[in-house]
Structure 1
Amino acid sequence: MLPELLVPLGLLIVVAKLFEGALGRLGLNSIIAYVLTGILLGPVLNWVTPNDELQLFLGLGIFVLFFNIGFDEIDVRGFVSIIGGRYFAAAIISVAISTTVALSVTSDIFGLSFSLNLPITDALALAGVLSLSSLGLVAKVLSDSGQLRESIGLRIFAVVLIAEIMTLLVVGFTVGEQAQTADAAAAVGLIAQIVGFVLVAWLLSTRVLPTAIALLQRIFNVPQLSFGLLLGGLFLMVVGAERMGLHGTIGALLFGAALSGLPEQVRGDIMPGLRSASEGLFVPLFFASAGLYFDLSFLDLPASTIAALVIIPLAGKFAGAFIGAYLVRIDAPLTLATGLMAKGVAEVGFLLVMLERGVIGADVFSMLVLVMFGYMLLIPPLITASVEHARATGAPATPLSMPPSFARYALAGVQASSLLDATRMFPGPEVPIEEFLENWTVPGHTDYVVVSDGEAVGIVSAARLKRVRRRTRASTPLHKVMRPCPMEARPDEPISDVLERMAKYAVNVTPVVDGPDGEFRGTIVTHDVIDLLALMEEIRPQPDRVHRGQGSADGTDSVSDPA
């Protein structure tokens, strides 16, 4: 029995990784290589068939896949921090419009002849898949083209982050074994589940799991302890979700999202093992299994249904994204809409789940896998061209805040010392509020560090100070209204860790201390991070110009990278 299982597994793994390398040279997505592996070894050569034993092992891949999506792409702190803003409104409008338009194809609520006529819950799940955006793909495209650190790159990142989280939650809570009803109580229950998911993920990611894992690492000296905890915890969360009547992918998503707040230093210690197991084994096998189910039965679908599956969700998604950005007056709505069109691994993952549960047949599954391939091939160059056009016609103004996860993509390897401002003057605790508001406030800054005798003694909020009665401002010193510093940073910390904690404590400034006595060195302000990104983008072309002999008077061949 064991050889019969190991032979197809070995073939799938070897061929999938070889295809990944070969197609990667052509610039093709690794997911395409994995699915093509399954198609070649399954329907074409008939060397591998998805029997029960093989499918049990392959099924583990989907939970590892959705854990990675939750860990890498669901930034709960960033999501919560920008609720209510323009980006949030644009993303919600986009998701609402695109999902509603996709429902015209997946359900019969509009009475269209080409629709799939799925029950409402299944129809909503499939509509959500067709409306989903991929933050991971967007970040990779922008990073590879050097556009992630631009203002427009940050704007696209923020909108796609919100849209992906909202759509993932809708799909995750409808793809499971839910009641097939469409009454108001079911809708309220779905919304309550989604809100509860976000709250639990936020609590776990900010208060529980990062602290617990870091503590266990210090207490126990066991090789790969954290890796074992992560893998075991993942499977337990999957079982818990299944017993609650949800699909196990929601448990995997929640666990990944809850761990997304781990400090970068801890992530660097514990993630290589899980990442290797995921990218070298589980994920290739999972997507190869999708290829095993692919066939040409979609050609028997009515031509109107095929056209509707391709065109209507595409048009609805683009229209919703453009309308959302335009209505809330975000610059470059066409560019933001193009960014929201990106699709990646989650869509194919959900389609395979729906196929295995009998929600869709092999014909619709195969048709939509081809559609997703089209998105993966065509959208990345369109995003790059759209951002280039927006930059050429005048880049939008730099935003005042960023999701914490953005720093993990755009500022990888940058330490807190790179952002340290040791030259700024800091008010003392005896400075009157009126004098502070007149002489110390700076545009774009909302929080300020108060320093006494070379020590950071507290933080004051300009908004809070302005609420103090005018007649008492001249006689009220800052120490009467300041609060203790909720956090401190060290010069050698990754800047992404610092920004994560700043988001956790809802401040945009933190003191930086060094040495055993915690000597005050200066501050880091969120706005300065944005300024650094703008500076890095401004000087990014310099090495290229110098290399071509256009940028240096002394004829040198290279310039050090300031990042």
Structure 2
Amino acid sequence: MEGFSLQEIVDLFRFGEHAHELHQSLLTLGMLIIVAKLAEGVFRRLRLNSIIAYAATGMLLGPVMELTGVWWIESSLHLELVLALGVFIFFFLIGLDEVDISSFMSSLKGHYFLAAVLSVIVSLSISMLVTTDLVFDFGLKLNFTESLALAGVLSMTSLGIVAKVLTDGGHLKQPVGLQIFTVVIIAELIALLVIGFSIGEHAHQLSPVGILILLGKVAGFSVVTWVLSSRVLPPLVAGLQRVIQVPQLSLGLLLGMLFLIVYGAEAVGLHGSLGALLFGASLSSLPYQVQREIIPGIRSVAEGFFVPLFFASAGLSFSFTFATLPLGAMAGLALIPLLGNFTGAFIGAYVSRLAVPYAVATGLMGKGVAEIALLLVMWNSGIIDEVVFSFLVLVMFCYILFMPSVISFAVSRASRRTDLPAQLDDIPLGIVRFALEDIKIDDILDRSRRHPASSVTVRDFTEQWIVPHQPHYVVADKGALVGIVSLEMLRYLPKDAWGKTQLDAVVRRQTPLAYPDEQVEDVLHRMSESSLSVMPVVERDSEKFLGAVTSSDIIQLMTMETMGENRPPHRSVKTSTRSRQNH
């Protein structure tokens, strides 16, 4: 019989010389996934973070079993490819869940941004006392960019840990919890950018020109990523779904776009994880309904396969050689960055006049999850060796195990103080979105609220209608929407003309609109993009004016719900929080 023989067909599917390695990789993948998910169930019953379960699985099946000399799992080229994909997907999810670019930009002039910047600068500087040999040589042998990258990881705050602690304790929507949450979001993004720059440039010496070129690359890459993800991808997916109607089309396009973005980042000299992070951050501003259509598939793939494998690989890479690290280096790596985190956050909170600086400082000491991922990236990039990597993984385990209780105690104690503000009106709008989910505008709309008429003079308006922390107001005539008036515009009007000038002459008539069936998240995002603090609400079909919602309404209802106070009689608002236990 001509053609392939049965043996030749069998040999073909053995993949030639790589058959044994492929078989070992399949065994490794199967064992890691099964044991990791089973361990996750056990650890959750013990109220322990699932990331510890994944890493402990890798340690058990790798270095611990190796001590027996009977059987253990080792890494392979096939496994490293899967893990590389896991790195990009994990940082994509961090960008999607924890980074909001619009909120970051809107906070640039506020005291929360000042607190975050001071916290990062001080803690980063103190951590560099360990990672460099400027004061004392701990034997790490890192150049400046490598020292900066490691110091960034040691001084970083993990939003996933902090959000989980605040959510479990019911503090996320209280004033102290909101302040901590806001500062952590800003500080984490700054630290991630610093780390991303440093890892991408660790093989080169930094120079002023090099820094400018790198910043230009990041800025240009961010703009391109934002345009593709927010302006091209959503309509492309919607159009193709109507024409092609292929199952899981959105998931395939999203994954393909993610890997192309990673390729583009690597091509321009950035680390692929930074590209994945920026891509996720760009998608975080998509409308809520669009996210519900394209995100669940990739989240299921990540949480069921890539994320467990990724953190299990951290356990596989663990080595007991960390015991050879000098005691002085151990103490320095474990304690000095811890002191730096608290000192930097306390100084930032105190200088920016945030309530209860010690609670804010304690809240910014949550870390462990993203840090382990970054340490693995740094180890694979050759920035740190397995000794330092293994010791710092143990340090991060300690953070994950013990810091949640410390943070919860500090925030609970601070929340009992009687001198705290009843609500906060200066939280960036995009950050409020993190604490709202599945709430529609109709749930919070006060249809009985009165609005100034266009015939009201500017003087009467400023004397009778202005309230604190609200720079924009809806103008309506007998139930018909006229537009929005901005206090900023009144500055250009001479005060001697205020008594004669009516609002009709200064009102902005072309304004964005909200609809009662819209998600609050989407409306808050449009408020932030339009730099407005109020949004008119109209019926979708007839555009009949129904009322208005303000950013202060959202924050007030959110905090009143948490504190158990009486809510305004017009509606009952339901609030929930996104779970970030794994990210």
TM-score by length of 1: 0.92
Relative to 1, partners in 2 of residues 1:52 and 1:500: Cα closer, same or farther, differing over 3 Å?
A: same
Partner Cα separation in structure 2 for residue 363 and residue 540 of structure 1 = 53
Partner of 2:273: 249
* Residue 39 of structure 1 pairs with residue 59 of structure 2: yes
* CA distance in structure 1 between the partners assigned to 2:532 and 2:338 by the alignment: 40
- Correspondence for 1:134 among 158, 163, 166: 158
Q: Which residue of 1 aligns with 2:30?
A: 10
1:167-198 alpha-carbon deviations (Å, 9 max, x no partner)? 00010111124553243333444555555566
> Of the candidates 321, 325, 328, which is equivalent to residue 349 of structure 2?
325
Runs of 4 or more, structure 1, over 6 Å off, are none
Q: In structure 1, which of residues 457, 466, 469 is the aligned counterpart of residue 494 of structure 2?
A: 469
Q: 1:189 to 1:106 in 2, by over 3 A?
A: farther
By how many angstroms is 1:439 displaced?
Answer: 1.9
Q: Is the 8 A contact 1:125 1:171 kept in 2?
A: yes
- CA shift at 1:513, angstroms? 1.3
SS at the partner of 1:175?
helix
Q: Does 1:90 align with 2:115?
A: yes
* Matched-pair contact (CA < 8 Å) for 1:74–1:260: yes
Cα 1:78–1:210 change in 2 (3 A) is: farther
* Offset of residue 405 of structure 1: 4.6
Hey, what does 1:481 align to over in structure 2? 506
Residue pair 1:485, 1:510 contacting (<8 A) in 2 also: no
194-203 or 219-228, which deviates more: 194-203
Question: Residues 211-230 of structure 1 correspond to what in structure 2 (within 5 A)?
Answer: 213=237, 221-230=245-254
Cα pair distance change 1:449/1:105, threshold 3 Å: same
How much has 1:362 moved relative to structure 2?
0.4
d(CA) in 2 for partners of 1:224, 1:404 = 33
Which residue identity lines up with residue 235 of structure 1 in the other structure?
F
The equivalences for 1:525-544 within 5 A come to 525-539=550-564
Checking the alignment, whether the CA contact within 8 Å between 1:407 and 1:495 is kept in structure 2 is: no
Per-residue deviation, 1:526 = 0.4
| Cα deviation 1:365-415 (Å, max 9, x = unaligned) | 000001111111111111111111111123632221334454444222222
- The aligned counterpart of 1:316 is 340
Query: Partners of 1:85 and 1:228 in 2: how far apart?
Result: 40
> Aligned partner of 2:424: which letter?
P
Separation of aligned partners in 2, 1:236 and 1:122: 27
Indicate whether 1:459 and 2:484 are aligned.
yes
Give 1:70's match in structure 2, choosing from 73, 76, 95.
Answer: 95
Distance 1:378 1:192, change over 3 A: farther
Unaligned 5+ segments in structure 1 are: 543-559
1:334-353 equivalences in 2 (<5 Å) = 334-353=358-377
How many Å apart are 1:479 and its aligned residue?
Answer: 2.7
Task: Indicate if the aligned counterparts of 2:25 and 2:76 stay in contact, CA closer than 8 A.
Answer: no
Kindly indicate whether residue 255 of structure 2 is the aligned counterpart of residue 235 of structure 1.
Answer: no
Task: Tell me the percent identity.
Answer: 48
Question: What's the offset of the Cα at 1:265?
Answer: 1.7
Instruction: Report the AA paired with residue 292 of structure 1.
Output: L
Corresponding position: 1:21 with 2:41: yes
Q: CA deviation at 1:485?
A: 4.4
Higher mean alpha-carbon deviation, 388-397 vs 67-76, is at 388-397
C-alpha distance in 1 between matches for 2:512 and 2:237: 20
Indicate the larger mover: 5-14 or 461-470.
461-470
- Please state how far the C-alpha of 1:428 moved relative to its aligned partner: 2.5
Name the structure 2 match of 1:145.
169
Report the residue type matching 2:40 in the other structure: E
- 2:200 is paired with a residue of what secondary structure? coil
Preserved CA contact (<8 Å) 1:170 1:194: no
In structure 2, the partner of 1:369 is 393
| Counterpart for residue 298 of structure 1 | 322
Q: CA deviation at 1:41?
A: 1.0
For the 8 Å contact 2:557–2:573, the answer to whether it is kept is no
1:76-114, Cα deviation, whole Å (9 max, x unpaired): 011111112111011101100111111111122x14122
Shift of the alpha carbon at 1:538?
A: 2.1
What's the CA shift string for 1:422-446, capped at 9, x where partnerless? 1121122333222221222222211
Report if aligned partners of 1:90, 1:327 keep a CA contact under 8 Å in 2.
Answer: yes
Contact 2:538 2:545 in 1 (8 A): yes
Higher mean C-alpha displacement, 201-210 vs 264-273: 201-210
The 1-side partners of 2:408 and 2:197 are apart by 33
Aligned equivalents of 1:288 and 1:541: distance in 2?
Answer: 47
CA distance in 1, matches of 2:374, 2:256: 23
**Structure 1 counterpart of 2:529:** 504
1:503-531 CA distances to partner (integer Å, 9 max, x unpaired)?
A: 11110100111241122111100011111
1:103 aligns with 2:103: no
Once the two structures are overlaid, the 10-residue window that deviates more, 530-539 or 308-317, is: 530-539
Verify the 8 A CA contact 2:430 2:528 in the aligned structure 1.
Answer: no
Q: Are 1:381 and 2:405 matched, yes or no?
A: yes
What is the CA-CA distance between 1:266 and the residue it aligns to? 1.7
Q: Distance in 2 between matches of 1:66 and 1:484?
A: 42
Residue aligning to 2:74: 49
Provide closer, same or farther for how the CA distance between residues 54 and 199 of structure 1 changes in structure 2, counting only shifts above 3 A: closer
Structure 2 counterpart of 1:448:
473
Whole-angstrom distance in 1 between the partners of 2:380 and 2:105: 34
After superposition, the CA RMSD in angstroms is 2.3
Select between 8-17 and 194-203 the one with higher mean Cα deviation. Answer: 194-203
Q: Is the 8 A contact 1:72 1:260 kept in 2?
A: yes
Q: 1:360 aligns with which of 371, 377, 384?
A: 384
Task: Work out whether residues 294 and 365 of structure 1, in 8 Å CA contact, stay in contact via their aligned partners in 2.
Answer: yes
Give the length in aligned residue pairs: 545
Q: Name the residue aligned to 1:551.
A: none
Other structure's SS at 2:47 match:
coil
Q: Which runs of 5+ in 2 are unaligned?
A: 1-18, 66-70, 576-583
Judged with a 3 Å threshold, the aligned counterparts in structure 2 of structure 1 residues 478 and 169 are, in CA distance, closer, same or farther, namely same
Q: Counterpart amino acid of 1:345?
A: V
Query: With structure 2 as the length reference, what TM-score do the two structures score?
Result: 0.89
Give 3-state SS (helix, strand or coil) of 1:21's partner. Answer: helix
SS of the residue aligned with 1:277?
helix
Q: 1:120–1:180: 8 Å Cα contact kept in structure 2?
A: no
Q: State the SS of the aligned residue for 1:482.
A: coil
Amino acid in the other structure paired with 1:149: K
Are 1:404 and 1:496, in contact at CA under 8 Å, matched by a contact in 2? no
Map of 1:554 onto structure 2? none
Structure 2 residue aligned with 1:59: 84
Give the aligned residue type for 1:29: N
Cα pair 1:491 1:513 within 8 Å, conserved: yes
Give the letter for the 1:248 counterpart: G
In structure 2, the CA distance between the partners of 1:34 and 1:562, relative to structure 1 (3 Å rule), is closer
Q: Which amino acid aligns with 1:230?
A: L
